[in-house]
């Protein structure tokens, strides 16, 4: 069985306050995009669990990969058989694109299908929340308003059809801890949902990612990329999540010479549908 866990971008990200448990309450809209990893699952011919990977390097924090964690969660809950998982990594880590969370969520969905567990989306979302705040989003994999730590999801009607997305990720890995270290929680004048109800060409003035203020100070290259995207015709540009990927939305396909201007960076382009 093969699946293609896709990335997401954040449209607006407000950090509202710090919670008693040490996390922060946020509000953001998560929007799926086409950039994908590849994930293969087969039943273990030798009866032993195995996880392998290829493609981009996956940084280790000393814990098992999220795909591995997803397997052991399902194995303990439902006694699913041992499997071999292979992950081909395309979505850069530390980019705010949710690649690791997508890999975990798609693993859960694959186990559910492969072993006919009959779990609903709601069931899978509860399991995904045990793996990470962004993981539940990738179960339904459609535009969602995220609140709480990011795990409280509400469908939102939002179409970017026909716009072109250009994604730039310089060679910077930004950890979640680094991103949150510099934030200043605040209540915004308008909610993300209220701002997104307006046409995309109006978002530039109001739709903010609260991580940008501190991270653009410590990593000036990020701000330079955002400025360059606007100078080349983007109607909206922002950092995704806690960085370091910066995306621009264009009404027309970006010129090839714009891609060449970011030749040292990871680049992705797609027409949204």
DSSP line for 127-190: HHHTT-TTTTHHHH-S-EEEETTTTEEEE-----TTPEEEEEE-S----HHHHHHT------SS
- Contact call for residues 38 and 72 (beta carbons, < 8 A): no
Q: How far apart are CA 61 and CA 4, in angstroms?
A: 24
User: Does the annotation count 89 as an active-site position?
Assistant: no
Cα distance between the two ends of the chain = 26
Distance (Å, rounded) from C-alpha 85 to C-alpha 157?
Answer: 35
Known catalytic residue: 226? no
Gap between the Cα atoms of 134 and 152, Å rounded: 10
Cβ contact 265:92 at 8 Å: no
Pairing of the two strands 50-55 and 83-89: parallel
Residue of 8, 89, 109, 147 marked active site: 8
Cα–Cα–Cα angle for 141, 13, 133, rounded to 5 degrees: 50
Best CA proximity match to 215, nearest among 255, 174, 247, 264 = 174
Compute the distance between CA of residue 97 and CA of residue 36 in angstroms, rounded to an integer: 10
Of 37, 103, 134, 210, which one is the catalytic site residue?
Answer: 134
Catalytic residues: 8, 134
């Amino acid at each position: 069985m093969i699946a293609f866990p896709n990335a997401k971008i954040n449209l607006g990200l407000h950090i509202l306050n710090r919670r008693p448990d040490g996390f922060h309450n946020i509000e953001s809209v998560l929007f799926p995009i086409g950039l994908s990893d590849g994930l293969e699952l087969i039943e273990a011919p030798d009866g032993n669990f195995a996880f392998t990977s290829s493609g981009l390097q996956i940084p280790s924090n000393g814990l098992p990969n999220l795909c591995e964690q997803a397997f052991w969660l399902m194995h303990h809950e439902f006694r699913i058989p041992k499997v071999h998982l292979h992950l081909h990594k395309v979505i850069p880590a530390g980019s705010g694109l949710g690649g690791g969370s997508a890999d975990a969520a798609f693993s859960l969905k694959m186990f559910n299908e492969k072993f006919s567990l009959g779990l609903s989306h709601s069931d899978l979302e509860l399991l995904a929340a045990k793996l990470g705040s962004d993981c539940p989003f990738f179960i339904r994999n459609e535009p969602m308003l995220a609140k709480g730590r990011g795990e409280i999801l509400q469908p939102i009607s939002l179409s970017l059809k026909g716009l072109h997305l250009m994604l730039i990720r310089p060679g910077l890995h930004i950890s979640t801890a680094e991103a949150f270290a510099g934030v200043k929680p605040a209540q915004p004048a308008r909610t993300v949902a209220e701002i997104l109800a307006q046409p995309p060409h109006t978002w530039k003035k109001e739709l903010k990612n609260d991580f940008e203020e501190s991270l653009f100070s410590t990593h000036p290259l990020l701000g330079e990329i955002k400025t360059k995207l606007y100078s080349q015709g983007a109607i909206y540009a922002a950092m995704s999540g806690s960085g370091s990927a910066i995306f621009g939305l264009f009404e027309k396909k970006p010129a090839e010479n714009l891609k060449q201007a970011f030749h040292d960076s990871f680049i992705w382009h797609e027409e949204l549908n």
